[in-house]
């Protein structure tokens, strides 16, 4: 197959670029260097952004991996493609991003550490090469890779332990990606999508990073990691009883989370350095996160219940794109904007997709969605738990530079940013009415489901990984 071509401004042909898209899990923007955090947790991403484009206000399309990844990999809103909202599995009628790249002449590959990006959800569709890494599937890796991992188990993971929740996987992701990249140096351009699980809870950094930020906390590195693991396993009980961690405990939890981010930043640096050492033509690299994380906001942990900036505001770095963009580092953007732009550059079909071409357009507002949630487990721990402050059916939020308006069947709220707990609808009814109208129009154009939503039957291996991540008991 011949390389896809696009044209320069003088109408001379220019080869379509390779695209490497790296999604990290659960990285909130304000815990990164490019987000202005007090700790230099992502120095490499900051360097990568300085040579390309860096954004600290990328608003994710969903509050968790399931809906967010469904939108990144289809270009359709969560409620439209139904993944993570009314369904578990991508409907057959939805065209995936990988299929669009394939039709434009690209070789496509996906390496995923998260079971929500796997054959279980249909998000593997359209990739020429796909692999889901889990405790049950790593035995499929070459023996040489596994031996290298075991030899480095203290540097890149938790040491010799049978507790799979403690182990880190970026080393395995990197080694596998390097092997695949060696196979992809062909006449075809390629689209390579990677989903890393870190720093998703439990926050248990590799032993080489476990003391990265513990000098100023009151727990030892090991105590802090074990405490973070205990919080992970008892999250519902802690939240049900008011999320009343003391300053010492909050400091330990954040130290472990930040250490995981810092370790992953180093591993992304190693991978990108390897990519740049290869004799590749123009290669665009995207590094972002699928969603953020809560640390006490709304009395919550994790990321499953609300659509605040802590959950939806993520970093995004775009490097290697030889194009001018119309957006600045402080402007709003969403993952579909970047994906649509890259597809347009690749000469691929983008008909029906969300997003704007960032070479010529900017967005006025961003929209995030969350599926229905239940609080039964919270009531089991505390019968007086108050869920009335949450939107229990599916929730959609529209965010501008200054406001967040959200709406569900149970009502609506208007927040004047950065305050996301005080509803100002009564004080600013005209703003609420304007944003409500914008959201209604958006839902009519982009939010209507393609079908009723398909429920999936997840395998034992998928269930076990979801358990390790805290999604199921």
pLDDT per residue as tens digits for the range 173-206: 999 999 999 988 667 899 999 999 999 999 999 9
Does 247 reside within a domain?
Answer: yes
Q: How far apart are CA 115 and CA 107, in angstroms?
A: 23
The three-state secondary structure class of 255 is helix
pLDDT band at residue 470 using 50, 70 and 90 as cut-offs: very low
Does 10 reside within a domain?
Answer: no
Does 472 reside within a domain?
Answer: no
Residue numbers of the domain that contains 63: 17-466
Question: Of 135, 5, 87, 31, whose CA–CA distance to 467 is shortest?
Answer: 135
Does 5 reside within a domain?
Answer: no
pLDDT tens figures, 261-301: 999 999 999 999 999 999 998 999 999 999 999 999 999 99
As a whole number, mean pLDDT of residues 92-97 equals 96
Q: How far apart are CA 389 and CA 421, in angstroms?
A: 10
CATH code assigned at 394:
3.40.720.10
CA triple 58-64-66, angle to 5 deg? 110
> Rounded mean pLDDT of the chain?
91
Please, are residues 34 and 317 in contact by the beta-carbon 8 Å criterion?
A: yes
Please, are residues 114 and 25 in contact by the beta-carbon 8 Å criterion?
A: yes
Does 46 reside within a domain?
Answer: yes
Please, are residues 16 and 346 in contact by the beta-carbon 8 Å criterion?
A: yes
Does 1 reside within a domain?
Answer: no
The three-state secondary structure class of 65 is helix
- The pLDDT value recorded for residue 167 is 87
Q: At what angle do helices 143-151 and 170-183 cross, to 10 degrees?
A: 150
Does 29 reside within a domain?
Answer: yes
Does 129 reside within a domain?
Answer: yes
Indicate the number of domains in the chain.
1
């Amino acid at each position: 197959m011949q390389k896809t071509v696009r044209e320069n401004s003088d109408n001379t042909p220019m080869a379509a670029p390779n695209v490497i898209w790296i999604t990290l899990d659960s990285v909130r923007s304000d815990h990164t260097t490019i987000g202005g955090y007090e700790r230099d947790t992502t120095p490499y991403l900051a360097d990568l952004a300085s040579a390309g484009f860096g954004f600290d206000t990328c608003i994710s399309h969903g509050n968790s991996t399931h809906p967010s990844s469904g939108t990144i990999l289809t270009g359709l809103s969560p409620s439209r493609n139904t993944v993570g909202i009314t369904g578990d599995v991508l409907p057959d009628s939805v065209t995936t991003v990988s299929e669009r790249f394939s039709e434009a002449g690209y070789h496509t590959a996906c390496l995923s550490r998260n079971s929500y990006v796997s054959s279980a959800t249909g998000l593997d569709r359209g990739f020429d090469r796909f692999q889901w890494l889990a405790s049950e599937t790593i035995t499929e890796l070459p023996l040489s890779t596994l031996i290298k991992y075991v030899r480095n188990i203290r540097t890149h993971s938790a040491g010799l332990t049978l507790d799979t929740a403690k182990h880190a996987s970026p080393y395995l992701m990197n080694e596998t990606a390097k092997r695949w990249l060696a196979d992809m140096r062909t006449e075809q351009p390629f689209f390579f999508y990677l989903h890393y699980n870190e720093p998703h809870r439990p926050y248990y950094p590799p032993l080489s990073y476990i003391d990265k930020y513990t000098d100023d906390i009151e727990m030892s590195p090991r105590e802090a990691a074990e405490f973070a693991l205990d919080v992970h396993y008892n999250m519902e009980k802690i939240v049900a009883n008011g999320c009343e961690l003391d300053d010492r405990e909050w400091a330990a939890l954040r130290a472990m989370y930040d250490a995981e981010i810092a370790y992953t930043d180093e591993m992304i640096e190693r991978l990108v350095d390897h990519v740049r050492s290869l004799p590749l033509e123009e290669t665009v690299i995207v590094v972002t996160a699928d969603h953020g994380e809560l640390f006490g906001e709304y009395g919550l942990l994790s990321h499953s219940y609300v659509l605040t900036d802590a959950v939806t505001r993520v970093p995004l770095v775009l490097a290697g794109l030889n194009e001018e963009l119309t957006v600045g580092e402080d402007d709003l953007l969403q993952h579909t904007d970047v994906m649509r732009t890259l597809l347009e550059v690749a000469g691929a079909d983008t008909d029906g997709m969300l997003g704007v071409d960032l070479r010529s357009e900017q967005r006025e507002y961003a929209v995030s969605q969350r599926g229905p949630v239940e609080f039964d487990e919270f009531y089991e721990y505390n019968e007086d738990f108050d869920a009335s402050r949450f939107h229990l059916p599916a929730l959609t939020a529209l965010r501008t530079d200054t406001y967040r308006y959200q709406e569900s069947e149970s009502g609506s709220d208007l927040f004047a940013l950065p305050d996301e707990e005080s509803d100002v609808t009564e004080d600013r009814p005209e703003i609420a009415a304007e944003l409500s109208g914008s959201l209604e129009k958006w839902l009519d154009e982009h939010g209507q489901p393609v079908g009723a939503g398909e429920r999936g039957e997840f395998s034992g291996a998928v269930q076990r990984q979801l358990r390790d991540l805290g999604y199921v008991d």
